[in-house]
Each structure stands twice: as C-alpha cells, then as structure tokens.
Structure 1
Amino acid sequence: MTSDDGAEPSTLPRRQLGRFLREHREAIGLTLAKAAALVELSQAALQRIESARTKKVRTVDVRALCELYEVSPEETARALDLAEQAKVTSWYTAFAGLYSDPTFNMYVELSASARQLISYQEIVLGLLQTPDYARALISAFYREDSTEDIERRVELRMKRQSIVTRKADPVRLELLLHESALRRIVGGPKVMARQLAHLAEIGKRPNISIRIQPFTAGYASGLFHGPFVILDFGTDSKGRVVEPPLVYFEGHGKPDLYLESEADVRRYDELASEIRSTAHDEVRSRELLRRAAREYGA
C-alpha cells in the first residue's frame, strides 16, 4: 500500500534487513570493514544498511552480501523481499508470504529482540501455551497439514517460549487476558485445566505478569478492540531508544500488521493502560485461573 501524502517509508523492513545482515556477517566472523570491502561498499554505507539509517537499499548490494555470507536461497529471497518492502511508503506495514512461514515469522523475530511485550488477548498467548493447547489451536487452523507438520509447528512454538522462560535476561511480558479465554474451551476440559493451571504457575515468574480483565469491565475506550501486542525494544546504556516500539496484530490467514508511528503506539499504550485499570490484580487473577482449572477437572 502506497501513499502520496509525503510519508516516510516504513522503517520496519529496513530494521529487519539490517539485523538479518548483521547477524549473518557476525556468524561467519567478518568485520564490518572486511565485509564492506569484499562487496565493494564503503564501511559507512554497510553500517548505514545494518543500522537501518539509509532509505535506499539496493537489491544488488543485498544479493552480494547474502552470497558473501553464504546465505541459503530461501533466506536470500527473504532478504531481497525486505529490501523491496523498505521502499514502500505506508501508514502501516503488512507481511505475509515468507513471513507467515513458521521458520521466518516476522513477529517471532521481533519479539525475540524486544525487551518488553504488552499484550491484550482473548485466547492464551502463544508464548504461554501448553503443548496440548497449542496443538488444538494449530490443528484447527491448519486443517490440511499433515500430523508431522502440525507437530513441527507445535515444537517451534514451544521452543520460542524460551524468550520468557530463560534464566538469562528474559523478555518481560505483561499479558492482559480477557475472562472469555477462561471460558472458551480449546481442546477439551483436560487441556483447559492444564493450560489454566500452567498460567497460574508461570505467572509467578518475576518477568511475567498475567491479569484477567473480567466480563464486567465492558469495553475500554468504548471500543470493540481486538487482540494486540506492543513491542518495546528498550534503551541502551546511555538511555537512548534501541529501536522504536511497534504495535502488532496477527493476521490469522491474512497479512500480519504492524503500526510504527508514535501516535499509533501512544494510542495503544493508552488503550493497554485502560484495560489494565479494569483488570484484576495478579493475585486475584491467579485465584481465578486456579478456580477455573479446578472446574475443568485439574
């Protein structure tokens, strides 16, 4: 989607491309200066690409860098797609195709790079799902997939949960979960019982906050808003923002959407604050999760 209103091209594809190229360069042990020389770029030019500080990313340079870094054809196609996306001016960024694949999911990469995630959900967030709960959801959505493919997707989802469960510098997660998630049965009563008991337990971690928004809270801001995730990438040692925050919306078969403007991020920060103000505290939420788990037979 393009616009003629003079808006700047989205920074998200450039940020992802820069991170992609930097990680592959470092993986083979090349310095910035050496890599730049080998593809006939100046060190400053390559640094601008890696730090997303250039609006003009040439596909010929991206292809040369991918060849130098011995990137696979699939990943090269991904990098070239990012370079093309970086040229598009839009008030939002949409990714599908390559980025809907479990291996290359854009949101997965972004959340792994974030320092904090604030999410409102009406089903359990993937980062906190049990294998059986995830399997029930994935099987219902990917009905044409083989059992092996379903299990691969479940395995990948479980592995990605390490960003919030690892001992070293885990991502901070605040989950604002609507009460409907406790009542909407996924996979049957036993699956629900284990899932809700798991939420009650994992919510004790110092980096994870789970709060239930009750039905009685009504609509925050008087709007019917859907699930969303705010990704905050934190600040560096000097207090400077590492990367601008984003708001993410899962596409559910359509392209995933990302909002990048300060106004949009601020609007969803305010929405999250309103939801938070109507939600139960962590202790009360944990009690509700345990009670519901017992009702399902835990």
Structure 2
Amino acid sequence: MSEDGSTLARRQLGKYLRNGREECGLTLHQAAELIERSASALQRIEKGIVAHLREVDLEALCKIYGFDTHHTAAMKGLAAQGNEQSWWHEYGDLIPENFDFFVGLEASAQRLTTYEPELVPGLLQTPAYASALIRCGYPDEGVEEHARRVQLRMRRQTRITRKHHPATLDVILRESVLRGMVGGPRVMATQLRYLAEAGVRPNVRLQILPFSAGFPLGDSVGPFVILEFGTGKQGQVIEPPVVYTEKFTGGLYLAKSATVHRYHQGHESLRRSAMDAEDSRALLRRMAKEYA
C-alpha cells in the first residue's frame, strides 16, 4: 500500500467509521451483517485498505452509526479523496469547511514538529491572539460562532498542557512571528510572555529563527507540521507520520516516507541556525516588555 495522501484519507475514514461503530456498541460481525458484508471486509475498510469503497456501503454505515448529513458528507469526501494520488483538502470542496480533519490528526499525534514563519501556531495561541485572527478570517460571524471557534482552538491545547501523557511539541518560529502585529500591542505582549512560559514545559521546545540567520534552506519555506503517532508496545510505528502544509485555500497532506524525511531534515537545518531555547525565551520576554 503506497504511502500517499489517498492512503491517509482511507486510513482516517476507516478510523471515523470504527469510532462510529464502537460508539453504537456494535461488533464487526454485527455491523457487517447489517450491510450484508463479511466481517473481514468491514475490517479492511476500517483499516483503510479498501481503495474503492462502495458508496452504497458507506451510506449504509453512516446511517447505521447515526451520522448526521454534515458528518456523512465529510465521510463521502474522505472516500473520494481516497481515490486520488495526492490530497489537497480544499475548504468547501469535497469535505465541508467546518469538518476540521487536521484537528482529528492532531488529537492523536504523540509528537508535533512545527515551523511557522508568520503566525503563532494554534497550539500556543492565547485566547486574545486567536480571537483577533479568527475575527479577521471570519469578519461576518456572530458572537456565538466566534466564541465557539476560539473555544475549539483553546481546547486543542489540552493535548500539550495535560498532565497525563501530553504530546511533545517542537517549534521553530521565524522572528517575523514576533514582529507581526496581531490584535494590538497588549495582545502581543501577553502572547509573547505566554510563549516564553510555554517553552519551559518539559514537553515543549521552542526556538526563534532570527532575521540575521537569513534563509538556511536557500529558499523561503512556508509553515509545516510533522505529525508522528508514536509506537506500540513492541516498538512498531502505530501509524506512518504525516506532514501538513497549509495554504490560503487549504492544506496539503504528505505521507510518503521520503517526503517526511526531507521535512525532518529541513527542520533540523532551521534548528541549527535558530537561537537556543534559553536565548529564545530571553528574546520573547524582551520583546513582550517592548510591546507592553
């Protein structure tokens, strides 16, 4: 089975279907009987092995599991993406815009390796910083919907802040993240102080790539996240790692091992040119005072 975007789509579709079945209290055999398929066939679907899932089977499973129209549409979008060679998740296209696929991946990741050249990543944003960005992105939304988006972003951060098995976060921020004004000086001061405090956590490593470092990779690099999902009891990889890169109109998921390795190498090259963690915290605190 090739490790491309289509594999990722099928794998995640299978995970959503398995969760739906388990929430209904159905065994593989029981659910398979309801759609007149074998248990082994349904198991292959849940493992993401079936490349061309029949639409009639998918619709039946969504109905049995009680998925609403929105959730069913997202499942159909994943199934369609499973037939493609690469995966551009364009908002509002195959998968509904408000079905955040990335959040599902992020929630199951054990390690996140991130580079951000412009903005503080969502996992480290303060409520005020997140609110300012969301207000710019969705200027016509009502108060309740705006609050819901901010709350979701804050809830994602428990993956990093919880006491029991928190995920590891390895972040490099270009200096432009610190200089780009979001929400005004007071918001920026609070945000930079929060970043300095977050960098002290044992599961968080945060470094600043200063302007003086130039462009270590010989080219401009957009934001990316490498998501790794840990290993099992016998040391085997639970799921292949995934790289997520975001653009204005959507995000690209990359899962080929050679591509993931190249992003790891790129991140290490950026790290060698970045300030160490202690100097990075000192810079953050100094700039927070300047904003304040």
**Separation in structure 2 between the aligned mates of residue 120 and residue 217 of structure 1, nearest angstrom:** 15
- Is 1:260 matched up with 2:255? yes
Which residue matches 1:278?
273
Identity, in percent, stands at 48
Residues 47 and 95 (structure 1), Cα distance of their counterparts in 2 relative to 1, 3 Å cut? farther
**Separation in structure 2 between the aligned mates of residue 133 and residue 195 of structure 1, nearest angstrom:** 7
SS at match of 1:124: coil
Residues 203 and 9 (structure 1), Cα distance of their counterparts in 2 relative to 1, 3 Å cut? closer
SS at match of 1:56: coil
Q: Deviations over 1:25-77 (max 9, x none)?
A: 11121122221122211111111111112212111111111111111121111
Which residue matches 2:100?
105
By how many angstroms is 1:8 displaced?
Answer: 7.0
Aligned partner of 2:83 among 61, 83, 87: 87
**Separation in structure 2 between the aligned mates of residue 156 and residue 178 of structure 1, nearest angstrom:** 25
Which residue matches 1:117?
112
Aligned partner of 1:164 among 152, 155, 160: 160
Which residue matches 1:16?
12
Query: Structure 2: which 5+ residue stretches go unaligned?
Result: none
The answer on whether the counterparts of 1:59 and 1:84 sit within 8 Å (CA) in structure 2 is no
By how many angstroms is 1:99 displaced?
Answer: 4.6
Map 1:182-261; keep pairs closer than 5 Å: 182-252=178-248, 254-261=249-256
The answer on whether the counterparts of 1:58 and 1:83 sit within 8 Å (CA) in structure 2 is no
**Separation in structure 1 between the aligned mates of residue 81 and residue 163 of structure 2, nearest angstrom:** 36
Superposed CA RMSD in Å reads 1.8
Q: Deviations over 1:117-159 (max 9, x none)?
A: 1010121001110011011111112122223322221111111
Q: How many residues align?
A: 289
Q: Deviations over 1:160-204 (max 9, x none)?
A: 111111122211111111111111111111101100111111222
By how many angstroms is 1:95 displaced?
Answer: 3.9
What amino acid is aligned across from residue 265 of structure 2 in structure 1?
E
What amino acid is aligned across from residue 268 of structure 1 in structure 2?
Y
**Separation in structure 2 between the aligned mates of residue 7 and residue 146 of structure 1, nearest angstrom:** 41
Residues 57 and 211 (structure 1), Cα distance of their counterparts in 2 relative to 1, 3 Å cut? same
**Separation in structure 2 between the aligned mates of residue 137 and residue 158 of structure 1, nearest angstrom:** 13
> What TM-score comes out, normalization by structure 1 length?
0.92
> What TM-score comes out, normalization by structure 2 length?
0.94
Aligned partner of 2:50 among 31, 34, 54: 54
SS at match of 1:120: strand
SS at match of 1:94: strand
**Separation in structure 1 between the aligned mates of residue 109 and residue 3 of structure 2, nearest angstrom:** 26
What amino acid is aligned across from residue 286 of structure 2 in structure 1?
R
What amino acid is aligned across from residue 210 of structure 2 in structure 1?
P
Which residue matches 1:65?
61
SS at match of 1:192: helix
SS at match of 1:222: coil
**Separation in structure 2 between the aligned mates of residue 169 and residue 32 of structure 1, nearest angstrom:** 30
**Separation in structure 1 between the aligned mates of residue 3 and residue 282 of structure 2, nearest angstrom:** 48
